[in-house]
Structure 1
Amino acid sequence: MKLNLKEWKVPVILLGSLGIASIGDFIYLIAINIIVYQMTGSAAAVAGLWVVSPLTNIVTKFWTGSFIDYRSKKNIVVVTFILRAAFIAMIPFAATLFAVYTILVLLSIAKSFFGPASMTYVAVLVSPQKRKRFNSLWSFTSSGAFIIGPAIGGSLILLTNISVTLWLNAGFFLVAALLLILLPETEKNQQEKIPALTLSQVAKDFTVVFDFMNGRKYVSVIYLGFLTVMLFSFAMDAQEVVFTQQVIGLSEIEYSLLISITGIGSVSGALLLSLFANKISIRYMIVIGMLMMTAGYVVYAFSWSFASVTVGFVILGFFNVFVNAGIMTFYQNNVPVSIMGRVTSIFGLIQSFFQIFFILAIGLLADFISLKLTIGSLAIIMLITTVLYTVAVLNPKYSSWYEEEERESQEKLASING
């Protein structure tokens, strides 16, 4: 198949915008951890960064979908980029921890709009036959940002200071916004169709989402199952620094090296997937990615040395991009774009509730039992859940949810090539 550059112009610009924003996210992550630790000297204050986003999501996800689905997704994403740039630029002027956390809450609110809006905009802008390749490349740019972002952030902090780094960081989001402005508007002349954002409208939209979940139970089960498995990884990631240093005995230098190696594994997996995405079915991207990623977490949970934990991290980093690209394509192909913002927001709300519960529960268990036993138990439960999940994905009774879109894409590609 010949690559039509004109045909790929819009997806490439979209990919560039999202990739630059991802780099900005990782620079911000490095800087905010350092600035909070410098202000407080408290590990608990730094750990609190993990719960700001889920707590904010609980407040916002009730109504963000109702706002997003009736308005321009492109404009919403552009505004979230500009707001994130503005809020990040304000952080150096925050004199107290309360002021910093207030800005973090505002950033989380902006990001709670970004997730559902960007997911829907991608689904509208990228045709079904390009989604698998696009999502694979999106995973590649996100994985690259995982390495490039902290490297740029660390270098800027060394060469300048935290304040200058954050101001330059804000520039990444402005560039991302400018690129997105170049893209076409997918919703025009819809002002008369926009309902007022009221409690009754939000309640009505909840009914729409529950009707969708009831009508497409399999799609809902597969996506919620994915979110469930990812809860285990989120809980283990929250204790990653403590576990690798206190249980495995890694030094800070070894931990930094471990993260870099994991990033390289993730980029390698994303590069391989982007090259061969059209040769791997959505179903097997999900199954292989989920099983191998979980295997990586199991190796990590029972590691005893730098070498063993490195093996686990490389495996989970390499295959994480497979499951993410696969589930994203499955989701975009099976959730109508007209309600995707609302569905994504409600699923995000459910996920946020459980994320907070998991973080608190794991912290308590680690204190009452031991961190090693807690992480080991989580990994085993995650493995059992993953096996059950992959059985559901591979169930031949539901193969049409994957194969119909595959066949449609192949037919369209064949007609394009003549």
Structure 2
Amino acid sequence: MWKYAMLLLLGLGVSNIGGWVYLIALNLIVLQETGSPLAVGLLYIIAPIAALLTNTWSGSLIDRANTRRLMIVLDVIRAVLIIIIPLLPSIVYIYFFVLLINLANAISAPASAVYITKLIPKENRQRFNALRGFIHSSGTMLGPAIAGILFYVGSPYMAIYLNGVALLLSAALLLLLPVVDAPIERAKSTRRFEQIHADIKTVVSYCKRSVYVFYVYGLFVLVTVFMTAIDSLEASFAKLELMLSDAEYGFLLSFFGIGIIVGSLINVRFAKSLKVETLIGYGTVMTAVAYVTLYVATDQVVAIIGVTLIGFFVTFLNTGYLTFYQNAVPTSLMGRFMSLFGLFEALAIIFFTVIFGVMAHAIGIRLVGLVGSALFFTVGLVAIHVTKRKKTPLRSTK
């Protein structure tokens, strides 16, 4: 099993590094084309818009598809679209292609989650998720470094091409992995909208039967929403409140990666002794405390402490929630379950990101960051309360 797990982690790592290179290069390309920070900011609204366009039907596709084949096809599609970006004549075409890429991303993420859950046995999932966090954190540090080197020796367009190659390599690695899906049962309904409606009813019915799973995964959605909204203020806080230069801001972000690496290694080492419920509850609370530490900072030293703590504690939070839904949600339903929740998550991200941005302009970045962190902390307290009330163990989803 671990042979395939390592191949999968390698593929995820290659894709993650390429994703960071692509993100940084795309930001620079749009800034060079327009000279507008607002134009760059619009890139971050495209992902939740893509989720809104796909999440009503993508879960139905994922739960009835060969997930390995679907992941390979999506990697190749994204690679081709990314490689075309440097050839596009205007910013409008770039936005359109970025939307297409994010549409593929919105399907690929839940498909990958389903495949991982089917491939990795239940008893190894927490350790795998911790290793995945370590791989992700390594990409967080290596991606920007590789992008910087490519910008120095070439241009942002060279970095874009590299991400296309990385996705093709990821697809090649997926070819070495086994097919894990059982023969697909054809849907009884031949009409697409009837099928989607029936699938939504199935997920709602499951949530009514599994209230605890509904509550905990709902908390995960709230955590993702608040983290995204608070993170959208981070660069402005560093530049306008702490008065950091670009180089100092880059230095600050490197400590986030260090925190993730240390936290991930601890998660890997103690995977068998750390309870999922503890990771969820206290991981959420401590991540919120770390955000408070960042937004009360008045100098770079305190900000470094805050950013490092965010990176450290977020690994416990992520490992807990990932392991929870892998063990709790049936794999036959997982794609539809994640996609339906993802629809509400995308709506909430757009809403709170816009609200936080408007409030930051009106009453100040620091105050909004602290208010957001306090709301995040409240979600953590609720998570502790909910997980402590659990009476039965998580069921297997083999």
* TM-score, normalising length: structure 2: 0.96
Aligned to 1:416: none
5 Å-filtered alignment, 1:11-22, equals 11-22=5-16
Could you tell me which of 159, 166, 171 is aligned with 1:172?
Answer: 166
Structure 1: gaps spanning 5 or more residues:
1-6, 410-418
Aligned to 1:126: 120
Indicate if the aligned counterparts of 1:80 and 1:110 stay in contact, CA closer than 8 A.
yes
Q: Distance in 2 between the 1:200 and 1:42 partners?
A: 44
Indicate if the aligned counterparts of 2:11 and 2:173 stay in contact, CA closer than 8 A.
yes
**Alpha-carbon deviation of 1:206?**
0.5
Summarize the Cα distance change of 1:152–1:214 in structure 2 as closer, same or farther, 3 Å threshold. same
Summarize the Cα distance change of 1:118–1:386 in structure 2 as closer, same or farther, 3 Å threshold. same
Code of the residue aligned with 2:386 in structure 1: it is A
The answer to whether 1:40 aligns with 2:34 is yes
5 Å-filtered alignment, 1:350-389, equals 350-389=344-383
Summarize the Cα distance change of 1:276–1:166 in structure 2 as closer, same or farther, 3 Å threshold. same
**Residues 217-245 of structure 1: per-residue CA shift (max 9 Å, x gap):** 11011111121122111111111111111
**Alpha-carbon deviation of 1:375?**
1.4
5 Å-filtered alignment, 1:11-410, equals 11-187=5-181, 189-190=183-184, 196=190, 198-395=192-389, 398-402=390-394
Indicate if the aligned counterparts of 1:30 and 1:154 stay in contact, CA closer than 8 A.
no
Summarize the Cα distance change of 1:194–1:128 in structure 2 as closer, same or farther, 3 Å threshold. farther
Code of the residue aligned with 1:121 in structure 2: it is Y
Code of the residue aligned with 1:79 in structure 2: it is V
Which stretch shows the higher mean deviation, 382-391 or 264-273? Answer: 382-391
Which stretch shows the higher mean deviation, 384-393 or 333-342? Answer: 384-393
Code of the residue aligned with 1:400 in structure 2: it is T
Indicate if the aligned counterparts of 1:143 and 1:266 stay in contact, CA closer than 8 A.
yes
Identity %: 31
Q: Distance in 2 between the 1:195 and 1:27 partners?
A: 43
Which stretch shows the higher mean deviation, 329-338 or 81-90? Answer: 81-90
Which stretch shows the higher mean deviation, 379-388 or 120-129? Answer: 379-388
Code of the residue aligned with 2:269 in structure 1: it is L
Q: Distance in 2 between the 1:229 and 1:207 partners?
A: 25
Structure 2: gaps spanning 5 or more residues:
none
Indicate if the aligned counterparts of 2:56 and 2:339 stay in contact, CA closer than 8 A.
yes
**Residues 12-54 of structure 1: per-residue CA shift (max 9 Å, x gap):** 1111111111111111111111111111110101111111000
Code of the residue aligned with 2:262 in structure 1: it is S
Indicate if the aligned counterparts of 1:66 and 1:197 stay in contact, CA closer than 8 A.
no
Runs of 4+ with deviation above 6 angstroms: none
C-alpha RMSD of the superposition: 1.7
Code of the residue aligned with 1:326 in structure 2: it is G
**Alpha-carbon deviation of 1:147?**
0.5
> Secondary structure of 1:277's partner?
coil
Summarize the Cα distance change of 1:91–1:197 in structure 2 as closer, same or farther, 3 Å threshold. farther
Indicate if the aligned counterparts of 2:187 and 2:195 stay in contact, CA closer than 8 A.
no
